[in-house]
Structure 1
Amino acid sequence: MRLNEYQQRANATDQVSDTQRIESLMTPVLGLSGRAGALSTEYLRYLRDGAAYQAFRQRTGEVLGDLLWYVSNIAHKNDLTLEDIARQNLEKTSNRWDRGTGEEVGAPDFDAAFPDNERFPRLFAVDVTPTRKPDGTSAVSLSYNGNPFGDPLTDNAENEDGYRFHDIFHLAFVSHLGWSPVLRGRLFFNCKRKSSPAVDEVEDGGRAAVIDEAIAALIFNEAQKNSYYEGVNSVSNQLLQLIGQLTGHLEVSRCTMGQWEQAILNAFAVWRRVCRQPSGRLIGNRETRRIEYVTNP
Structure 2
Amino acid sequence: MSEIGIRTSGLSPYVALPAELESLENLGISEYQRAAKITDRMRPGIDIPILGLFGEVGSLLAALKKQTRDHPDREKYAASIKEELGDTLWYLANIASRTDQDLDVLAQRTVRSISDWDEVQPNFGTFDDIQSNIKELTQSEFEAILITLAGRVGDLVKDLGSGALTNNRDRLSGHLVDIFGNLLTAADAARISLGEAATANLLKVFSRWPLTEEYPPLIDDGMPDNEQIPRKFEILIEERKINGKIYVQQKLNGVIIGDRLTDNKREKDDFRFHDVFHMSYAVFLGWSPVLRNLLHLKRKSDPIIDENEDGARALLIEEGVSTFIFQRAIDRDFFKGQTQVDYDLLKSIRDFTRGFEVDRCALWQWEKAILEACRIFSELKRYRKGYIAADLISHTLEFRRVPEDRRED
TM-score by length of 1: 0.83
1:63 and 1:196, CA in 2 relative to 1: closer, same or farther beyond 3 A?
Answer: farther
- 1:68 and 1:91 map into 2 onto residues whose CA distance is 24
**Which residue of structure 1 aligns with residue 152 of structure 2?**
31
Q: 2:210 aligns with which of 67, 87, 98?
A: 98
Q: After the TM superposition, which residues 135-284 of structure 1 pair with which residues of structure 2 at under 5 Å, given as runs?
A: 136-186=244-294, 189-284=295-390
Q: Which runs of 5+ in 1 are unaligned?
A: 46-54
1:128 and 1:28, CA in 2 relative to 1: closer, same or farther beyond 3 A?
Answer: closer
CA deviations on 1:57-99 (whole Å, 9 max, x unpaired) are: x33x445423431332123213266654433322121122239
1:72 and 1:89, CA in 2 relative to 1: closer, same or farther beyond 3 A?
Answer: same
1:115 and 1:67, CA in 2 relative to 1: closer, same or farther beyond 3 A?
Answer: farther
- Is 121-130 or 89-98 further displaced after alignment? 89-98
- 2:157 and 2:376 map into 1 onto residues whose CA distance is 43
- 1:84 and 1:64 map into 2 onto residues whose CA distance is 27
Letter in 1 for 2:273: F
**Which residue of structure 2 aligns with residue 50 of structure 1?**
none
1:6 and 1:294, CA in 2 relative to 1: closer, same or farther beyond 3 A?
Answer: same
CA deviations on 1:140-168 (whole Å, 9 max, x unpaired) are: 11111222122321112223211000100
Secondary structure class of the residue paired with 2:238: strand
- State the 1:36 CA deviation: 2.5
- 1:120 and 1:127 map into 2 onto residues whose CA distance is 17
8 Å Cα contact 2:376/2:399 also seen in 1: yes
- 1:36 and 1:85 map into 2 onto residues whose CA distance is 24
- 2:234 and 2:319 map into 1 onto residues whose CA distance is 21
8 Å Cα contact 1:279/1:296 also seen in 2: yes
Secondary structure class of the residue paired with 2:249: strand
Q: Which runs of 5+ in 2 are unaligned?
A: 1-28, 31-102, 115-131, 404-409
Aligned residues: 276
1:92 and 1:39, CA in 2 relative to 1: closer, same or farther beyond 3 A?
Answer: farther
Q: After the TM superposition, which residues 104-115 of structure 1 pair with which residues of structure 2 at under 5 Å, given as runs?
A: 105-115=214-224
- 1:24 and 1:229 map into 2 onto residues whose CA distance is 42
- State the 1:8 CA deviation: 3.5
- 1:185 and 1:129 map into 2 onto residues whose CA distance is 20
- 1:202 and 1:97 map into 2 onto residues whose CA distance is 30
- 2:105 and 2:170 map into 1 onto residues whose CA distance is 19
- 1:13 and 1:81 map into 2 onto residues whose CA distance is 25
- 1:62 and 1:204 map into 2 onto residues whose CA distance is 59
**Which residue of structure 2 aligns with residue 49 of structure 1?**
none
RMSD over equivalenced CA pairs, Å: 2.8
- State the 1:24 CA deviation: 8.4
- State the 1:115 CA deviation: 1.5
Alignment of 1:117 with 2:232, yes or no, is: no
- 2:245 and 2:171 map into 1 onto residues whose CA distance is 64
TM-score by length of 2: 0.61
1:268 and 1:64, CA in 2 relative to 1: closer, same or farther beyond 3 A?
Answer: farther
